Amino acid sequence: MSMRELGEWTVRDAGFREADVLANGNRMLIGNGYLGYRGTVEEADASDMAATIVSGLYDRYGDKWREPVNAPNALSVRLVAPGDEPLTLRSRLLASHEQALDFRYGVWSRNTSWKVDGVTVTVKSERFASMDSPHEMLLRYTVETDGKIALRMQRGIDCAVRDINGPHLGAFEFAGTGGDLEVTCKTLELGIPLRVRSAAATDFPAAPAEPAPPKKGEACFRAEYLLDCLPGISYSLTVYAEVSAGSDPDAGMFAPRVGPFDGMSGEFRYREALARHKAAWDAVWADGDVEIEGDDAARRALRYSIYHLQIIAPRHSRDLSIPARGLSGQTYKGAIFWDTEMFIAPYFLVTDPEVAKRFIRYRIKTLDGARRKAAEYGYRGAFYAWESQESGDDACSHFNVVDVFTGRPMRTFFRDKQVHISADVAYAIREYVESTGDWSILDEGAFEVLVECARFFMSYAWYSPTRRRYEILDVTGPDEYHERVNNDAFTNRMALLVFDTLLEYADGLEKRGSSLPAETYAKTGFLDELPLLRDMAENLYVPSPGPNGVIEQFDGYYALEDASLAEVRSRLLDPKEYWGGGNGVATNTRVIKQADVVLMLNLFGDEYDGAVKKANLGYYEPRTEHGSSLSACMYSLLSCETGDSAWSYPFFRKTAEIDITGESKQFAGLIYIGGTHPAANGGAWISASRGFCGFAVAGGEIRLAPRLPAGWTKVSFTARVRGVRHKITVTKDGYTVC
């Protein structure tokens, strides 16, 4: 049984437990936005799901799902004791083990001992993915013993990586000397080159054997050191790893400034890189930190969440976004979901608006993909991908879940019916412009995105001649357990936002004398559609609160069985079965997966009074499974609004700690969906800042409304609004903005 320990800035796990291999891979992930490296030990292999995930690099094998490429592992080190006895965590010789993550600086470390024939062999190591130099990872690996023993240390590049739907790489070429190994290869689908370098320097005088390219059946390109260990002496290895791909943005711009060693000792090189790395992190925290006083656990959890956002922020690119599972692996196909716009972008919007801008540029870049998707389904404009990869074509299949009872793929309607994604993109554009005051993004293509998103909803909406209004039919809202519903309150309100935003920004641009609207209409042939746009903006139906204040989530929701959450859960015949889809236990009940109406009330808070918010919170929360990591934070936020921070607090903690505890849904049907949860990480920030501090930006002005939970004495954070950096401090009774 392992023991988890949380320090001010550390997560530490002592002991070895099989189940923690996967969990710690996520929990102790390091990364720098360009790559993510899972928190596994150096000797870990494919079975441990060791992985180096390269952002923006995808591949498809056969007719399986496209997914991120897992690069050959440049930090592989194995220690072999006499008698060809590999020293691993599963070895019966294991004496002790602990590993930790410093999440202030993204430094992973371990301390492991084995007892070999009476001799204690200890490995200590430390690694980081440079925040200063995106292609660079460094590892310092030290062996110590308390007796004489001959060990073999094998280090190199392990190409036998684990893929969910692989293999993805071929045309391997191996080069280099024992001290400097290099593997080049290509992705199978598109032939994108990938280069992995692993250079090593030892503190001790021991030349490795010349490496031989892996033989058939082998997959590790390795150099071996023979260590005749003496007690009390440290044998240290420094590995410099460099990963780069043909898909990298601005290739060269972010090329490493320093070579592997350039005459430096391993130790010096490591410390030099670490110093630069830490300085970069200090700059990140200067604007990115939130300091909560009076609640150590909350402070730690929120900072840990922010850490997870920062290690996947695509600073190295100008138009990349963040996948739903970050860079923690291949789950969710490494795809970008609405998570980014709705749950992740708010944090960056005020702490580092340039990162938020990258998310929008990514949607501009993938506009053609969204156009293709709209056309595929017979619509006009831009229907953004539910699961978006590098081209914006939808990586989501029509069969996204495997039925546990038959093993058959199950038809789900994420791809073709979750149309709110196009509105979410427009919402993010609006939020960006409102918060930053930076209208240049509209010129960069965002205005055209707005036009095409509006056009999409115009072709998706229907006019009811008997009800004399436009309605939006056959959609799936955020609550994915109810597919193909009509007049989903959230979706309809969001579509209206798209129409309103386009009209408002077109007007605003024209008033500024910009020819952008005219040019865009001409280019896209939209001019004739303006009257319809105005009519729809006037006459689109948005469900409103009923007599009891509750907004019906969609047409007919109240006709569903009102079974309790516990009752619905008790109907499960298999813990892994999917709650939604054609025959799921929630499908025909009012039990919902996640905040849906409640999300809408958060986004459009000014349009609803407190009584409505309270009524919907009270109605929907007991019916919410919180089966999505996007759910709890929205309940937390709304319950702050309704003045009940105490009720809200557990939702905040649940959201902020999701990647510490690892207690999230690991399966949808038979599909593994584990990994980190950037949207929850962002949601934790939303909950703390927008919720407990009542932070908002309206009309370019900062608004605050303190409602700190019990124990919290002060919250401090930074917000950049309209180009100005503000230092905000919120206490129980007041706030300051400097």
Q: What is the sign of the dihedral through the CA atoms of 730, 731, 734 and 738?
A: negative
Distance of CA 661 to the CA centre of its chain: 17
Token pair, residue 542, equals 């948005």
599-630: b (≥16 Cβ within 10 Å) or e: bbbbbebeebeeebbbbbbebbbebbbbbbbb
Whichever of 260 and 581 has its CB closer to its own copies, that residue is 581
Whole-number Cα distances in Å, 13 to 20, 23, 32, 142: 9, 11, 23, 20
Residues in the chain: 738
Asked whether position 405 contacts its own copies by CB under 8 A, the answer is yes
* Residue of 75, 149, 461, 603 interacting with its own copies (CB under 8 A): 461
Q: Which helix (H) or strand (E) holds 684?
A: helix 678-686
Stretch that binds its own copies, among 203-211, 338-346, 462-470, 728-736 (CB under 8 A): 462-470
Q: Say which residues have a Cβ less than 8 Å from residue 559's Cβ, sequence separation at least 6.
A: none
- Tell me the CB-side half-sphere exposure of residue 595, using CA atoms within 13 A: 26
Nearer to its own copies, 18 or 63 (CB): 63
532 belongs to the binding site for its own copies (CB under 8 A): yes
| Residue whose structure tokens are 């949601």 | 683
**Which of 106, 105, 107 shows the shortest CA–CA distance to 124?**
107
Phi and psi at 33, nearest 5°, equal 90, -35
The answer to whether 398 contacts its own copies (rule: CB under 8 A) is: yes
Q: What is the total count of residues that contact its own copies (CB under 8 A)?
A: 35
Indicate whether 90 belongs to the interface with its own copies (CB under 8 A).
no
Nearest CB to its own copies, comparing residues 381 and 682: 381
8 A C-beta contact, residue 655 and residue 683: yes
Answer yes or no whether residue 166 interacts with its own copies by CB under 8 A: no
**Is residue 177 involved in binding its own copies (CB under 8 A)?**
no
Contact flag: residue 459 with its own copies (CB under 8 A)? yes
Q: Which two tokens stand for residue 333?
A: 């196909």
Q: Does 534 bind its own copies (CB under 8 A)?
A: no
Q: Binding of its own copies at residue 558 (CB under 8 A)?
A: no
**Per CB under 8 A, which region of 55-63, 294-302, 471-479, 685-693 contacts its own copies?**
471-479
CB of 394 to its own copies, least distance (A): 14
Choosing from 403, 431, 596, 621, the residue that interacts with its own copies (CB under 8 A) is 403
Does the annotation count 504 as an active-site position?
no
Residue-wise burial string across 152-184, b where 16 or more C-beta atoms lie within 10 A, e elsewhere:
ebbbbbbbbbbbbbbebbeebebebebbbbbbb
Q: What is the rounded distance in angstroms from the CA atom of residue 653 to the CA atom of residue 686?
A: 12
Shortest Cβ 417–its own copies spacing (Å): 11
User: Taking CB under 8 A as the rule, does residue 498 contact its own copies?
Assistant: no
Q: Which two tokens stand for residue 418?
A: 């979750």
Using the contact rule CB under 8 A, the part of the chain among 153-161, 399-407, 544-552, 696-704 near its own copies is: 399-407
Is residue 382 classed exposed, middle or buried when 0-12, 13-18 and 19+ CB atoms within 10 A define those classes?
Answer: buried
Does 208 engage in binding with its own copies (CB under 8 A)?
Answer: no
**Shortest gap between Cβ of 588 and its own copies (angstroms)?**
5
Looking at the DSSP assignment, which residues form a beta bridge with residue 667?
672
Give yes or no for residue 406 binding its own copies (CB under 8 A).
Answer: yes
For position 378 contacting its own copies by CB under 8 A, the verdict is: yes
* Among 177, 464, 564, 736, contact with its own copies (rule: CB under 8 A): 464
CA distance 164 to 65: 9
Closest by CA to 475, choosing from 492, 459, 458, 463, is 492
Bridge partner list, 340: none
Nearer to its own copies among residue 323 and residue 477 (C-beta)? 477
217 touches its own copies (CB under 8 A): no
Task: Quickly count: other Cβ atoms within 10 Å of residue 644's Cβ.
Answer: 15
The reply to whether 548 sits near its own copies by the rule CB under 8 A is no
Structure tokens at 696: 């908002």
Cβ atoms of 477 and 556 closer than 8 Å: no
Q: Which of 253, 462, 534, 622 binds its own copies (CB under 8 A)?
A: 462
Which of 203, 474, 500, 644 is the binder for its own copies (CB under 8 A)? Answer: 474
**Catalytic-role residue among 67, 390, 480, 577:** 480
In the set 64, 90, 148, 484, which binds its own copies (CB under 8 A)? Answer: 484
Query: Per-residue x/- marks for its own copies, 583-612, CB under 8 A?
Result: x---xx------------------------
Looking at beta carbons only, is 184 or 587 nearer to its own copies? Answer: 587
The smaller minimum CB distance to its own copies, of residues 398 and 725, is found at: 398
Q: Which of 8, 250, 399, 609 binds its own copies (CB under 8 A)?
A: 399
Rounded to a whole number of angstroms, the minimum distance from the CB of residue 411 to its own copies is 5
Q: Is 573 in the site for its own copies (CB under 8 A)?
A: yes
Q: Which one of residues 333, 380, 482, 626 is an interface residue with its own copies (CB under 8 A)?
A: 380
Q: What is the C-alpha to C-alpha distance for residues 569 and 586, in angstroms, rounded to an integer?
A: 8
670 binds its own copies (CB under 8 A): no
Q: Under DSSP, is residue 85 helix (H, G, I), strand (E, B) or coil?
A: strand
User: What's the CA gap between 581 and 227, in Å, rounded?
Assistant: 58
How many whole angstroms separate alpha carbon 115 and alpha carbon 122? Answer: 9
Smallest separation (angstroms) from its own copies to the CB of 584? 8
Q: Is 314 in the site for its own copies (CB under 8 A)?
A: no
DSSP single-letter state for residue 570: H
Catalytic residues: 480
Residues lying near its own copies in the complex (CB under 8 A) are found at 378, 380, 398-399, 403, 405-406, 408, 410-411, 458-459, 461-466, 470-471, 473-474, 484, 486, 532, 535-536, 555, 571, 573, 581-583, 587-588
